[in-house]
Chain A
Amino acid sequence: MKSNTRLVALLSGLGVLLCAAGANSARAQTSHIGNLTGHAAPGSKLYQRYCVGCHGADGDGAGENAPWIDPKPRDFTLAVFKCRSTPTGTLPTDEDVFNAMTRGFVTTNMPQWLPLTRQNRADLVAYIKSFSPKWKTLKPGTPITIPAEPRLTIESILHGRQLYQKMECWKCHGPKGHADGPSAATLTDNKDLPIRPYDFESGSRFMCGVTNQDLYKIFMTGLDGTPMPSFADNLEPAGAWDLVHFLRTLQPFDTPEAALWKAWLASHAGELKPIGPGGGGGGGGGGGR
């Protein structure tokens, strides 16, 4: 009997301690978006209303809707995020998470959250950061530097095409960007779930933003948690911009890149070696650097 009382006292003590620790960590988190400060406490209420159905009460992506969703909702307990301005393996900035939430994830079930105020979204970012201890033990990475976009030239596109061959982008995204490379069918994410590479021909928005700068960021930071690696170790900024210019020609849009490419192809198509196994990606003169 006596030992029972002691056990109960111990357990309730543990409960009190754990609750206190939990509440503290949630309350302590803040986010900073420009001049806005987000707080986890109001973020928690918004989360219970708008996010819990998919991302789950514990933030582990196992909400009640999750079984019917593909790709699966983000698991915030891992603190691994696709869309970042920071190098692979680092936490995103608060602004990165804020932008991702605002933008939504095209081709997934994650909508745009523009109906929520900026303050609402900042509060949600603060609350999301309470799901993993990494937000306390690690600092967000330093955003990568993106130099100003150089002038678009045919040489830039041709060099970008060579890099698409050399960096073996085609192994997943396909020789023509149709997401049909030899490794496309077997790709899995960090939870071993199947995942598809981006299909340039579909013309759908990029997951992490629509501008040329966003595209630059995608392959220089990698989409953590997915098979898309960072190429920052082996691409110089100038080459990265060339690759951006070439990638734009793979999309079915009337972009300046596509217009220049089509005009050049009209008289030079025969000079190009096809991209793919053993392919050169070269040809066309002036492409090398």
Chain B
Amino acid sequence: MRTHSIAVLATVLITGGLARSASIVGAAPPRPPGAAGTISGKVTYTGTPPKMKPIDMAKEPNCVTQHAGAPVLTENVVTGPGNTLRWVLVYISAGDQGSAPATETVRLDQKGCQYIPHVLVLQPNQPLDIYNDDPHSHNIHPLAKLNPEWNRSQPAGAPPIHTKWEQPEFIPVKCNVHPWMHGWHLVVTTSHYALTGEDGAFTLSGLPPGKYTVTAWQEQFGAQSQDVTISGSETKPVNFVFKATPY
């Protein structure tokens, strides 16, 4: 009895491990032809979100000049009309039936002492080019834990840094010279993802019939998940509501 359980457990553990490494490699089986469904909806909040504060860039006079008249606001919670939330990643966290590896290059700019975009989403091994468009130095310091953490200086006029992330991970990125510069590199294995704009809307399309877990992640409010079943070429409405606190 006992031996049997151990054997079963060992099999489960080993197969689990294999399955995981296969998904990291990202070998995608061809998508079955026929019906494909869509999941779409909105991300909103209840409660009182923190007010975004103007950033004092006095340490870097050039960046003050670049934003003259309209100081940049912090971006950790960006809201829109109708209590919508921007910069939320919505993605298939379980049930993905195979995503092709992404090959187009993702671009990150350091401009006016800001990361543009504030949040970028990529798949493992997708090429990432990092540009410094400012007339002064930045150091780019992704605080990765599963992936290697690195820290590189990029002076004015330096060529772009060509890089990539191999493991799925949500990586905070900062510039030590300009402590207000914060961004995120969200590495997900699935190609079914969306990043909300100011209207909080998202659409995940091309989903073959099956059971899915959809997760919404916001840098300050954390993650929420919902299970959704797609049975044909239908559009399933799914909404996420985060509870916002001012601090």
Contact = CB atoms under 8 A, between A and B. Distances in A.
Contact of A168 (B2, B137, B143, B150): B137
Contacts, number: 99
A251 to B, nearest CB: 22
B237 interface: no
A16 B153 contact: no
B48 interface: no
A233 B136 contact: no
10 contacts: A13-B2, A16-B6, A17-B10, A182-B59, A190-B143, A226-B151, A227-B176, A229-B152, A230-B153, A233-B154
Interface in B1-23: 1-2, 5-6, 9-10, 13
Nearest to A227: B176
A13 B5 contact: yes
B153 A233 contact: yes
B61 interface: yes
B177 interface: yes
A17 B177 contact: no
Nearest to A187: B176
Interface of B: 1-2, 5-6, 9-10, 13, 59, 61, 136-137, 139-141, 143, 145, 148-155, 158-159, 161, 176-179
Nearest to B2: A9
A39 B153 CA distance: 37
B158 A229 contact: no
A90 B155 CA distance: 22
Contact of B177 (A168, A190, A225): A168
A10 B5 contact: yes
SS class, residues of chain A in contact with chain B: loop
Task: Indicate the member of A9, A78, A187 with the most B CB atoms within 10 Å.
Answer: A9
A186 B151 contact: no
A177 B155 CA distance: 19
Contacts of B155: 166-168, 234
Given A10-B9, A186-B179, A234-B154, A138 B1 contact: no
Interface in A177-230: 182-183, 186-188, 190, 222, 224-230
Nearest to B151: A229
A80 interface: yes
A251 B178 CA distance: 27
A14 B9 contact: yes
A235 B238 CA distance: 51
Contacts of A188: 176, 179
A182 B142 CA distance: 22
Contacts of B5: 6, 9-10, 13
Task: Indicate the member of B59, B161, B177 with the most A CB atoms within 10 Å.
Answer: B177
B153 A229 contact: yes
Interface in A4-23: 5-6, 9-10, 12-14, 16-17
A171 interface: yes
A233 B161 contact: yes
Task: Indicate the member of B6, B59, B148 with the most A CB atoms within 10 Å.
Answer: B148
B153 to A, nearest CB: 4
B139 A229 contact: yes
B9 A80 contact: no
Closest 5 pairs between A and B when the two form their complex, measured CB to CB: A89-B150, A227-B176, A13-B6, A229-B139, A168-B137
Contact of A80 (B149, B152, B177): B149
A190 B159 CA distance: 26
